[in-house]
Amino acid sequence: MTTDTAPTTTAKPVLQASGVVMRFGGLTAVNNVDLTVGEGEIVGLIGPNGAGKTTFFNCLTGLYVPTEGTVTYKGTVLPPKPHLVTQAGIARTFQNIRLFANMTVLENVLVGRHTRTNEGLFSAILRGPGYKRAEAESREKAMELLEFCGLANKAQHLARNLPYGEQRKLEIARALASEPGVLLLDEPTAGMNPQETRAAEELVFAIRDKGIAILVIEHDMKFIFNLCDRTAVLVQGQKIVEGDKETVQNDERVITAYLGAPLEGAAEGTSTTAGTEDDQ
Ligand SMILES: Nc1ncnc2c1ncn2[C@@H]1O[C@H](COP(=O)(O)OP(=O)(O)OP(=O)(O)O)[C@@H](O)[C@H]1O
């Protein structure tokens, strides 16, 4: 491990992974990875197919219990259960869209709010004043989020009827409904056209401006380098380099990992992707 893999942020840590290892039998999918996302930061995570990016995300969000290492959120070690991780303040989207297809857009966002509502089962069954007040507040907040994500006019549409780019936006709106301090995006622009990708960029900046730190996995290098304050590169489970756009683009090991072309394309400002052939 070389010294340039050390965290370079001076921002106050929000999410911190230390020495995270994830083994599946004899395969080490994530190998001793340290990564910090600080307040107000957008951090990128890139790497060729099978590098361990999604597995690392799963370790950060309690879907997997890391074989070794710790993950802390604002200084507290996270419990290895997804709903408790969400409750703590970490939200995520998935590489493969996971919406409730037969529910409306608004209902999907309301589902995302359940970790932030105090009304229990009996309150819901009895539908007393407390429940009605909480429900009205939730709907109002959900509508604000749909407005923020540009989906307010689709609130009553079924999720399955949205175009692909809007489904991805809805996933983000639902993740934001849990009022996170950090948002993890797993390939948010996969399948988007260039116009949708640019709109997604604007949305990510706007989320950061709300005070939510962001960690994003993407194969679209232009998207990553336009957005991110720092980018970490995983290759075969190991973080080989972490730094700003220039540091990453000029690192020989990164160029070798990608066989050169994609990163050079990004440096020239053309939209390019790397290693997407067997995604999803
Ligand atoms: N549940 C699992 N059981 C066994 N092996 C797994 C499991 N999940 C992932 N792997 C393996 O771990 C390695 C890392 O996979 P992972 O999906 O994390 O990579 P990735 O960088 O996200 O790839 P991509 O860019 O294609 O999404 C791969 O070799 C994969 O086959």
Beta carbons of 117 and 134 less than 8 angstroms apart: yes
**Tens of pLDDT along the chain (280 residues)?**
444 555 556 789 999 999 999 999 999 999 999 999 999 999 999 999 999 999 999 999 989 999 999 999 999 898 878 888 888 899 999 888 889 989 999 999 998 887 666 655 555 556 666 667 777 888 999 999 999 999 999 999 999 999 988 999 999 999 999 999 999 999 999 888 898 899 999 999 999 999 999 999 998 888 999 999 999 999 999 999 999 999 998 888 888 887 554 444 444 443 444 443 333 3
d(Cα 52, Cα 46) in Å, to the nearest integer? 10
Q: How far is CA 97 from the centre of its chain?
A: 12
* pLDDT confidence of residue 272: 43
Atom of ligand 1 nearest to the CA of 279: 26
Ligand 1 center to 20 CA (angstroms) = 15
Beta carbons of 241 and 248 less than 8 angstroms apart: yes
Atom of ligand 1 nearest to the CA of 275: 25
Ligand 1 center to 275 CA (angstroms) = 13
* pLDDT confidence of residue 145: 95
Contacts of residue 248, defined as CB under 8 A and 6 or more positions apart, other chains included, come to 46, 225, 231, 233, 241, 242, 254, 263
Q: Hey, whose CA ends up nearest to atom 6 of ligand 1?
A: 24
Q: What is the DSSP string of the chain?
A: --GGGS----SPEEEEEEEEEEEETTEEEEEEEEEEEETT-EEEEE-STTSSHHHHHHHHTTSS--SEEEEEETTEEPPS-HHHHHHHTEEE--SS----TTSBHHHHHHHHTGGG----HHHHHHT-HHHHHHHHHHHHHHHHHHHHTT-GGGTTSBGGGS-HHHHHHHHHHHHHTT--SEEEEESTTTT--HHHHHHHHHHHHHHHHTT-EEEEE-SBHHHHHHH-SEEEEEETTEEEEEE-HHHHHT-HHHHHHTTSHHHHHHHTT---B-S-TT--
Ligand 1 center to 12 CA (angstroms) = 30
Ligand 1 pocket residues where CB is under 6 Å: 24, 27, 29, 47, 49-55, 95, 279
* pLDDT confidence of residue 127: 62
Q: Is the ipTM of this complex over 0.90?
A: yes
d(Cα 204, Cα 257) in Å, to the nearest integer? 27
Q: Which residue from 22, 28, 53 has its CB within 8 A of the most atoms of ligand 1, so it is best to mutate?
A: 53
Ligand 1 center to 84 CA (angstroms) = 24
Atom of ligand 1 nearest to the CA of 278: 26
* pLDDT confidence of residue 202: 95
Q: Which residue from 21, 55, 56 has its CB within 8 A of the most atoms of ligand 1, so it is best to mutate?
A: 55
What is the layout of strands, in order, in the sheet containing 68-73? 27-38, 13-24, 68-73, 76-77
Ligand 1 center to 276 CA (angstroms) = 14
Residues forming a β-bridge with 70? 18
Ligand 1 center to 121 CA (angstroms) = 38
Residue 180 half-sphere exposure toward CB, CA atoms < 13 A: 30
Contacts of residue 216, defined as CB under 8 A and 6 or more positions apart, other chains included, come to 42, 43, 44, 45, 184, 185, 188, 204, 224, 227, 228
The label of the residue with tokens 């911190």 reads 16
Domains of the chain: 1-81+182-280 (3.40.50.300), 90-179 (3.40.50.300)
* pLDDT confidence of residue 271: 42
